Structure 1
Amino acid sequence: MIEITTHQNYYIAKIKFAEANMEQSDLFKQEIINELDSGHTHILISFENVNYIDSSFLGALVTSLKHAMAMGGDIAVYGLNENISQLFELIRMNKVFKVFKDLPGSYQAGWIA
């Protein structure tokens, strides 16, 4: 479902499916929360493979972010396609999550050192 890679004290979670919907939301949320609970409190989520996202998956993202913040951590996203990026702006998720165009953008912004 997701592939986790490590970069210093940050973790990159690559979503491996094209449709981020209700079918995947619970398992995705549990995988992210498991990573957070194991001490990986700063996670950058890659949406490079995702073409579609629904409200249940957005809810899983927000729940994961709340869990991270309660632990002193954070979750950011990158690689949103144009439609998902517009959706994030429309519902103001871009004010809730740090959103980067790509992985190098997160380095340049200083989110990943």
Structure 2
Amino acid sequence: MILRTHLLNNALIADIQLKEANLANAEQFKSELMSLINKGNKYVIVNFEQVIYVDSSFLGALVSALKLAMNNRGDIAVVGLNNDIRSLFQLVRLDKVFRIYTNTQEALTGA
């Protein structure tokens, strides 16, 4: 399992259990996240706190999951990005697509 999940205040928190989020695990990540969305979870907070490296295939999987969530009237927020990953999100303009928060509590309050 790539994601460890728990419910908190009507949101599903999905903690990524990887140091390197890359092509080798992108498909499994996508499958797990889409399964959680298909089970009716409307607001998913994906926590990158443990992740030190992300590649484009993993980001593509995240975008695919967001499309599914939006089609189901849901949303995905992202938390716990380190400076390098945050810069990558900005470089590929995903900061315009995802709501990015510093931590889970901030995402829950919509700060």
Q: Name the TM tier (shorter chain).
A: over 0.9
Scaled by the length of structure 2, the TM-score of the pair is: 0.95
Q: The residue matched to 1:48 in structure 2 has which SS?
A: coil
Quote the offset at 1:96 in angstroms: 0.3
Scaled by the length of structure 1, the TM-score of the pair is: 0.93
- Identify unmatched segments of 5+ residues in structure 2: none
Deviating runs (4+, > 3 A) in structure 1?
none
- 1:57 maps to 58
- Hey, what's the Cα distance between the residues in 2 that align with 1:10 and 1:104? 11
Once the two structures are superposed, what CA deviation does each residue of 1:39-87 show, in whole Å capped at 9, x if it has no partner?
Answer: 1121000000000000100100000000000000000100000000011
CA RMSD of aligned residues (A): 1.0
Matched residue type, 1:60 = A
- 2:73 maps to 72
Tell me the number of residue pairs that the alignment of Structure 1 and Structure 2 aligns.
110
| 1:91 aligned onto 2:60 | no
Does the aligned pair in 1 maintain the 2:9–2:108 contact within 8 Å? no
